[in-house]
């Protein structure tokens, strides 16, 4: 006899829970209590739902399963950054980071177990992609990092970035579904304007974001404003040339009215010349945008190094003189491999 696989409770629609309550003679308000436990109180077991009767909790456990992320390891950097290694129900590891700064408290989360894009400078790119994360696994990262924010800093998250392990737009449906729950007014209630999804650049999916009229921010992991250099660093550029990306980003801006953020890591002798700056300036003039210049964090075996601070200063000055909105983003959590590009389940 074939065993029926239980559905994860967070996959169950509210309407189906209502039908169940009717079938087992429970009051309708129990549905709202269950939803609050799942998306507001972030319960990770049926036993945690303490205002439900034991009989109802047992009934839920009989019909459904719970597959929450668990915390496998937590590391705290000397600068206050907290890195968490999460374990999935099928015993894989992903990482998320809580980043404190003067005016914000940011959670950086993952969208895939591993990554398939093999960016040359990224530790995660050296890993194989095992699978996409499910929407509730993405949500769990935020919920757990929220708890850590309140415990260590006595305040809630101010910002959320999809800049951890994996390519978010290759897990399109679950990423958007997770954001729906993260921004739900009866749950975590985070404003979409506080959320940024970072992509290596998949033109077709960027256009889909525009068609779906998303409210969150979009960042492109750029790192070079000419195709030859970008393809050497990021093989995804071979199938998503800059011309196609610019067309997609222009469409995204026209449909959403949301400016684009270009993420640009400076590598010594690779993309830090005056010509590189000029190419970036031309790109920025095509679509309303800003540039985050990111300090490179060493990853063993890549061969990349960060430029001297005088090169960085000159690059920034060139952009500023040409009216580019640019900000230098300093690395956080380098001592625990929590900085940009370093997430690889080490330790």
303 or 262, which is more confident:
262
Q: Quick one: which of 239, 176, 168 has its CA closest to 198?
A: 168
CATH code of the region 70-336? 3.20.20.70
For the stretch 43-102, pLDDT in tens is 999 999 999 999 999 999 999 999 999 999 999 988 889 999 999 999 999 999 999 988
Q: Which sequence positions are flagged as catalytic?
A: 95, 340
Q: In this predicted model, what pLDDT tens digit does every residue of 220-253 receive, in sequence order?
A: 999 999 999 999 999 999 999 999 999 999 999 9
What residue segments make up the domains of the chain, in order of their start? Answer: 7-65, 70-336
pLDDT-based confidence at residue 120 (cuts at 50, 70, 90): confident
Q: For residue 137, how many other CB atoms are within 10 A of its CB?
A: 25
Q: Would the pLDDT of 333 be above 60?
A: no
pLDDT of residue 290: 96
User: What's the confidence (pLDDT) of residue 45?
Assistant: 95
Mean pLDDT of 170-183: 97
Closest CA to 241 of 252, 251, 231: 231
Report yes or no: 202 and 167 within 8 Å, Cβ to Cβ.
yes
Please write the tens of the pLDDT for every residue from 24-36: 999 999 999 999 9
Percent of the chain at pLDDT exceeding 70: 93
pLDDT band at residue 296 under the 50/70/90 scheme: confident
Please tell me if the domain spanning 7-65 has the same topology as the one spanning 70-336. Answer: no
Say if residue 171's pLDDT is above 80: yes
pLDDT value of position 115 = 87
Higher pLDDT, 121 or 311: 311
pLDDT > 50? residue 1:
no
Of the candidate ranges 177-186, 255-264, 293-302, the one whose mean pLDDT is the lowest: 293-302
CATH topology of domain 7-65: DNA polymerase; domain 1 (1.10.150)
- 346 pLDDT higher than 90: no
Q: What is the pLDDT of residue 127?
A: 78
C-alpha distance across the termini of the chain, in Å:
43
The pLDDT value given to residue 339: 52
**Mean pLDDT over the full length of the chain:** 91
pLDDT top residue among 331 and 205: 205
The average pLDDT across 140-161 equals 96
Q: What is the pLDDT of residue 169?
A: 97
| pLDDT > 90? residue 123 | no
């Amino acid at each position: 006899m074939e065993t029926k696989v239980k559905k994860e409770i967070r996959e169950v629609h509210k309407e189906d829970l209502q039908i169940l309550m009717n079938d087992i003679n429970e009051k309708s308000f129990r549905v709202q209590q269950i939803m609050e436990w799942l998306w507001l109180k972030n319960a990770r077991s049926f036993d945690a739902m303490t205002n439900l009767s034991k009989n109802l909790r047992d009934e839920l456990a009989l019909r459904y399963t719970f597959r929450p992320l668990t915390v496998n390891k937590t590391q705290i950097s000397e600068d206050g950054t907290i890195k968490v290694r999460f374990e999935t129900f099928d015993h894989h590891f992903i990482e998320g980071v809580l980043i404190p700064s003067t005016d914000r408290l940011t959670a950086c989360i993952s969208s895939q177990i591993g990554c398939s894009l093999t960016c040359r400078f990224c530790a995660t790119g050296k890993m194989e992609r095992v699978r996409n994360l499910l929407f509730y696994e993405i949500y769990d990262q935020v919920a757990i990092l929220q708890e850590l924010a309140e415990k260590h800093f006595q305040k809630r998250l101010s910002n959320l970035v999809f800049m951890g392990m994996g390519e978010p737009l290759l897990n399109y449906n679950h990423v958007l579904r997770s954001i729906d729950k993260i921004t739900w007014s009866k749950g975590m209630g985070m404003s979409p304007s506080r959320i940024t999804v970072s992509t290596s650049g998949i033109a077709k999916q960027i256009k889909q974001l525009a068609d779906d009229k998303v409210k969150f921010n979009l960042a492109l992991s750029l790192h070079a404003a000419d195709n030859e250099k970008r393809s050497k660093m990021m093989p995804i550029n071979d199938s998503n040339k800059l011309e196609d990306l610019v067309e997609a980003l222009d469409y995204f801006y026209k449909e959403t009215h949301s400016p684009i953020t270009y993420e640009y890591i400076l590598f010594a002798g690779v993309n830090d010349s005056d010509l590189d700056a000029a190419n970036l300036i031309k790109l920025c003039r095509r679509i309303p945008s800003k540039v985050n210049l990111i300090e490179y964090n060493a990853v063993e075996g890549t061969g990349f190094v960060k430029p001297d601070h005088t090169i960085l200063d000159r690059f920034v000055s060139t952009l500023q003189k040409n009216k580019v909105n640019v900000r230098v983003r300093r690395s956080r959590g380098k001592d625990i491999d929590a900085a940009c590009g370093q997430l690889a389940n080490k330790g």
